[in-house]
Each structure stands twice: as structure tokens, then as C-alpha cells.
Amino acid sequence: MKSFFRFLYELIGTPQPPSETPLYRDVIFPNVGLLTLGISLGLVLIFYYLINRAMGVATFNKVRHWVIFLVINALLAFVVAIWQAHAQQAAEHSYIYWMATLNAFYGLLWFFLFSIILRKGSTNASTTPF
């Protein structure tokens, strides 16, 4: 799992300063990656199964509503990456913000993929976003 997240987050380069590389590879990358996966899955489940199935809110099934959740997911993914880097006391460097931006992109990707997989179980939004 560590090598998977290491590959994903090192696409923008190795962590800076170099003395921080083991911290990122062993702790920050896996934490950020798993949290982003969990948040993305959680928001998809909330959108499709809680709001649009259990609650039956027939007016919250449009593409714009899905985009709201998508943007919230990206913002949360960005914040989670910064929060984890600061929580692990990583040296302040621009790499943190580049990683957070990349993580926001991955959050968008995970949300989209989970939406494609899980949307059919929703009664009101089974065709959202398509």
C-alpha cells in the first residue's frame, strides 16, 4: 500500500527537503491516500444512498448537486493533505501545497470512479452525473 501511494504522490517529484523523504513515504503518503479514499467513498455514499435513496430528496439529484459534492470532496482532500503534513511536523515547504493540489485532483478522480460504480443503487440519482 505504501508503494502505491508513494508512486501516486511522487509523480510531482520527491519530497523536499530530502531529509523529510522517509517521513512522507512511510507516514504521510499512506495516511493522506487512505483518508482521501475514505472521504471520497463517504461523500459518494452520502450523496447516492443517504440523500437520494434513504431520504428520497427528489430535487437533489441534478448534476449541479453532484458537482457541489465533487468540489467539497476536492477541498477536503486538499485540506487533509496539508493537515497531515503539519500533524506529522514535516518541514514547511512548497512541496506540501503541491502534494495537496495533487491530492485534490486524486479526490476528484476517486469521487468520479466511486460515483460510476455506486450510482445504480440510488433511486433518485441513478443517472447522475450522466
Does some domain include residue 14? yes
Does some domain include residue 129? no
Q: Write down the pLDDT at residue 102.
A: 96
Does some domain include residue 127? no
Question: Which domain, by its residues, includes 52?
Answer: 1-121
Q: Write down the pLDDT at residue 57.
A: 63
pLDDT tens per residue across span 49-100:
888 777 766 677 788 989 999 999 999 999 999 999 999 988 888 889 999 9
Does some domain include residue 71? yes
How many whole angstroms separate alpha carbon 100 and alpha carbon 94? 10
pLDDT tens per residue across span 102-112:
999 999 999 99
How many other C-beta atoms can be found within 10 angstroms of the C-beta atom of residue 15? 26
Domains contained in the chain, number: 1
Does some domain include residue 25? yes
Does some domain include residue 51? yes
Contacts of 24 (CB under 8 A, 6+ apart): 9, 15, 90
